[in-house]
Amino acid sequence: MKTKYIVVLLAFHICLPLVAQDTCNAYYPFEEGAQFEITNFNKKGKKEGHVSYKVTNIDNHVATLETQIFDAKGKEITTTEYDVTCEGNSISIDFKSLMSPELFKQYKDMDVDMTGTNIEFPKDLEIGQTLNDANMNMAINMSGMKMTMTINMVDRKVDTKESITTPAGTFDCYILSYTSEMKMGMTHTFSIKEWVSEGIGMVKNETYNKKGNLISYSELTKFSK
């Protein structure tokens, strides 16, 4: 298994514009019709695939996102959906967004049961904040052979702020850091550095191994609403 690609991308998956009433001054596209693309690269900058997102519906402060996952050659691997909820003082992102493109590709034709804890963001980030952990548990049935996998997102904190430029534009971002743990027999641990921008979401994400070496990164390559 290529564990270096089975990492939380919050690409996987963490991006949003404001709710119409401006009640969700948040870090995820919360506007129907918003579209964005996250492209994944290896440590040498070689493209390894991309994920296209579209906010297809907003109902009672719950946004539904459709995701299309593509490989390095642009071939569609699968299409899926997950929800983002705006309530109280936080944004809650469906734990299923923790499932990376490699996992979807590997297990899309198997019987998979998923449970977990959603990813939460306060509506207002501040340097020094500690954020709640999140996790996803998978029970996999492969032709009668049962396996389990756990992905944990721990030690989440807001480190600093900076401006960053990607093919989608230049954005003022908070920089978050956290540890991603993948347990499937053995435990694999990664350090994540992530740039998030208000009204946009994730702009860039870098994944490092235990030795502190970059092994992959993802960045926002398209955004429209």
Domains in the chain: ranges and CATH: 3-224 (2.40.360.20)
Per-residue pLDDT of 99-149, as tens digits, reads 665 665 666 666 777 888 888 888 889 999 999 999 988 888 877 788 888
pLDDT-based confidence at 37, cuts 50/70/90? very high
What phi and psi values does residue 95 have, to the nearest 5 degrees?
A: -60, -20
Distances (CA, A) of 41 to 3, 44, 85, 163: 15, 8, 29, 21
> pTM score > 0.75 for this model?
yes
**pLDDT (0 to 100) of residue 197:** 92
Residue 1 pLDDT > 50, yes or no? Answer: no
Residue 28 above 50 pLDDT? yes
Q: pLDDT of 167-211, one tens digit each?
A: 999 999 999 999 999 888 889 999 999 999 988 889 999 999 999
Tens of pLDDT, residues 45-100: 999 999 999 999 988 888 899 999 999 999 998 888 888 888 878 888 887 776 66
Asked if residue 32 has pLDDT above 70, the reply is yes
| pLDDT for residue 172 | 95
Q: Report whether pLDDT(23) > 70.
A: no
Dist. CA 8–CA 122, nearest whole Å: 19
**Residues contacting residue 203 through CB under 8 Å, at least 6 positions apart:** 164, 166, 168, 171, 173, 195, 196, 197, 219, 220
For residue 105, the surrounding DSSP H or E stretch is: helix 101-107
- Residue 154 predicted with pLDDT over 70: yes
Q: Is a pLDDT exceeding 70 seen at residue 25?
A: no
